[in-house]
Structure 1
Amino acid sequence: MKVRIAAVQYLLRSISNWEDFENQVRFMLKAAAEYKPNFVMLPEIFTSQLLSFLDTENNIRAAIRSMHDYTPRYLDLMAELAKKYNIYLIGGSHPNLRNSLLYNTSFMFSPKGDLFSQDKIHRTRWEKDKWDTSAGDKLHLFQTDYGAVSILICYDIEFPELSRQVCEAGADIIFVPSSTDDRQGFLRVRYCSHARAIENQVYVAMTSTVGNLPVEGLGMHYGCASILTPSDFPFSRDGIAAEGEINMEQIVIADVDLNILAQNRINGTTIPLYDKRREIYQNPVDIVSAHC
């Protein structure tokens, strides 16, 4: 089965109200839908654009929490667009409050508008110290009409154990909505995404916020989208199905083949998903003194 993925490089720019945000989202989703994708992905915390018109000068923690007030409108908008364009929509991620705790959550919407979610499991220092977020504690594998998919938000892709868990559970595609402020941060996510694609024989799609906001910690953004494959003969030469231009507002699109992926996991030049020696991983590391 061939699956078309569209990853949106969302340009953060100052806006004056919710309507400005909604208009930009509608424009980008309409543009993506023209390519008839099965999945569309927006970046991590792209809804931070709403902070443009919220009070962030005096208390950034309070400002982030006030974004929760827009959660119902955000969810309604994403569900509407998923149904309108008959897509699975990974709606980036959005800060939201549950039991007075702030989570960074990626919401996925089905073509029928059904809602699914995945909390970010590993928080960056900024999220812990400046935003005072809480960590998610559960991984999900979503069985869709176009394969089994999981969502690992930005920093989570840098922890190989998470990707291995969802791939051993059957993931065909891992989606990585991301937001990074500099080249080093972007490359950490980008390189780890490709490593996960190779070591788990899985497709990985990532995307980033680009642009800037007049908000503490969100002033500058650096990144681009890419759709990555295992590194073997059936796939593109460099294991890159498609890749965007750095820091440009655009949509990156590629077709991936789930049948080829399944065959490669069995008949590939190497088969790292199945070659893992599980018994070895139960043994403690043998620490040996080699001092002179």
Structure 2
Amino acid sequence: MPRMIDVATAQYPIEAFHDMGEFHAKAERWVQNAVNHGAELLVLPEYGGMELASLLPAPVRDDLRAQREALQALREEALATWWSLVERHAVTLLAPSMPWRIAPDRYVNRAWLLAPGRSGFQDKQLMTRFERGQWGIAPGDPDHGGGLKVFDTPVGRLGVLICYDSEFPLLARRLVEAGAELLLVPSCTDTEAGYHRVRWCAQARAIEQQVAVIHSPTSGEALWSPAVDINIGRAAVYTPCDHGFPPDGVLTRAHDDTPGWQFARLDLDAIAALRETGQVDNHADWQRQLTRLEIPIETVRLR
């Protein structure tokens, strides 16, 4: 039997809440909607958890450094909310990431991957200038379990590349070599240029490694937030450009900035078979390219 999975990837708005009850209601509404469409794997974006900062006093919320610490008091309840929905609906879900304190004055960008009876987290590996500078968010620390991981889940073996991480092909290759069948790319970008960097790199990773890539961005304006005030992106599912898949590699992609889910059905066996029967051998030729790099470069002066 083919291994078919129904996926939902969120184009997720950062919204302001009056209390945690409003957050619980939003999470329940979003998960229920995806489940109603038959989704088994739900992917939510990078820094979607920053909407919890709307519950902080204004002076704390408006201070990039102070909000990191204040959010720690809310993180366990937020995680428990997503996990209770996962248990209730028997789905696999990548929860929205948020700053996560792992040591005094050390915060990482952590996304939790949840399935019934099990959980794990992926920390972002490479930080943008804004994260490591103004915001003070650090890369994952191997001493705190912050390296790359492959997750065995009910829907397959998954790897997570958080936003900027997707722009580095060696990280994706490491995950695929470790057995990842599907790559998840949660993102948060505030310009069209940033969105397109992640979008095209996600597509490149799908082509290079002959896997599907699920992209979930934040969307819309949250002008009350100094961290995630403007959000631009389109939720999508990308595949290799090969037999049985869209010629442009776009299985689904949002047409505009309307919040909501994008749904798709993926045949993991059909994607894996491309490594043996596809028009090209990108996955295998990754190693072959390395032998070409051993040949010295010749400088040629045209005459």
Could you say which TM-score interval applies, normalised by the shorter chain?
over 0.9
1:257 counterpart (251, 260, 267): 267
1:179 counterpart (176, 185, 188): 188
Taking every aligned residue pair, what percent have the same amino acid on both sides?
28
Distance apart, 1:291 and its partner CA: 10
Rounded Cα–Cα distance in structure 1 between residues aligned with 2:55 and 2:153: 37
3-state DSSP class of the match of 1:130?
helix
Change in Cα spacing, 1:242 to 1:58, as seen in structure 2 (3 Å) is closer
1:74 counterpart (78, 82, 93): 78
Rounded Cα–Cα distance in structure 1 between residues aligned with 2:204 and 2:299: 29
Q: Write out aligned runs for 1:149-164 (5 A).
A: 149-164=158-173
Q: Could you tell me which residue of structure 2 aligns to residue 198 of structure 1?
A: 207
2:65 counterpart (57, 61, 65): 61
Change in Cα spacing, 1:267 to 1:11, as seen in structure 2 (3 Å) is same
Rounded Cα–Cα distance in structure 2 between residues aligned with 1:269 and 1:291: 35
Rounded Cα–Cα distance in structure 1 between residues aligned with 2:167 and 2:16: 30
Rounded Cα–Cα distance in structure 2 between residues aligned with 1:222 and 1:19: 27
Structure 2: which amino acid aligns with 1:275? D
3-state DSSP class of the match of 2:78?
helix
Q: Write out aligned runs for 1:113-262 (5 A).
A: 114-136=118-140, 137=142, 138-213=147-222, 214-262=224-272
Distance apart, 1:181 and its partner CA: 0.9
Rounded Cα–Cα distance in structure 1 between residues aligned with 2:153 and 2:61: 42
Q: Deviations over 1:76-108 (max 9, x none)?
A: 111101111110110021211011210101100
Give the TM-score normalised by structure 2. 0.90
Q: Deviations over 1:213-242 (max 9, x none)?
A: 112142211112000100002112321111
1:280 counterpart (286, 291, 301): 291
Rounded Cα–Cα distance in structure 2 between residues aligned with 1:200 and 1:185: 23
Change in Cα spacing, 1:287 to 1:30, as seen in structure 2 (3 Å) is same
Say if 2:181 and 2:211, in contact at 8 Å, map to a contact too.
Answer: yes
Change in Cα spacing, 1:38 to 1:283, as seen in structure 2 (3 Å) is same
Q: What RMSD, in angstroms, separates the aligned Cα atoms of the two structures?
A: 1.9
Rounded Cα–Cα distance in structure 2 between residues aligned with 1:89 and 1:285: 47
Q: How many residues align?
A: 291
1:25 counterpart (24, 27, 34): 27
Say if 2:64 and 2:227, in contact at 8 Å, map to a contact too.
Answer: no
1:89 counterpart (90, 93, 100): 93
Structure 1: which amino acid aligns with 2:25? N
Rounded Cα–Cα distance in structure 2 between residues aligned with 1:157 and 1:247: 22
Rounded Cα–Cα distance in structure 2 between residues aligned with 1:22 and 1:82: 13
Between 1:273-282 and 1:95-104, the stretch displaced more is 273-282
Q: Write out aligned runs for 1:28-39 (5 A).
A: 28-39=30-41
Distance apart, 1:33 and its partner CA: 1.0
Rounded Cα–Cα distance in structure 2 between residues aligned with 1:86 and 1:205: 20
Rounded Cα–Cα distance in structure 2 between residues aligned with 1:25 and 1:128: 29
Give the TM-score normalised by structure 1. 0.94
Distance apart, 1:53 and its partner CA: 2.9
Q: Could you tell me which residue of structure 2 aligns to residue 40 of structure 1?
A: 42
Rounded Cα–Cα distance in structure 1 between residues aligned with 2:43 and 2:292: 34
Change in Cα spacing, 1:12 to 1:167, as seen in structure 2 (3 Å) is same
Q: Could you tell me which residue of structure 2 aligns to residue 50 of structure 1?
A: 52
Distance apart, 1:264 and its partner CA: 0.7
Say if 1:142 and 1:149, in contact at 8 Å, map to a contact too.
Answer: yes
3-state DSSP class of the match of 2:18?
coil
Q: Deviations over 1:166-190 (max 9, x none)?
A: 1122211100111111111111100
Q: Could you tell me which residue of structure 1 aligns to residue 115 of structure 2?
A: 110
3-state DSSP class of the match of 1:171?
coil
Change in Cα spacing, 1:289 to 1:196, as seen in structure 2 (3 Å) is same
Q: Could you tell me which residue of structure 1 aligns to residue 16 of structure 2?
A: 14
Q: Give the unaligned 5+ runs of structure 1.
A: none
Rounded Cα–Cα distance in structure 1 between residues aligned with 2:76 and 2:274: 42
Rounded Cα–Cα distance in structure 2 between residues aligned with 1:233 and 1:289: 39
Q: Could you tell me which residue of structure 1 aligns to residue 5 of structure 2?
A: 3
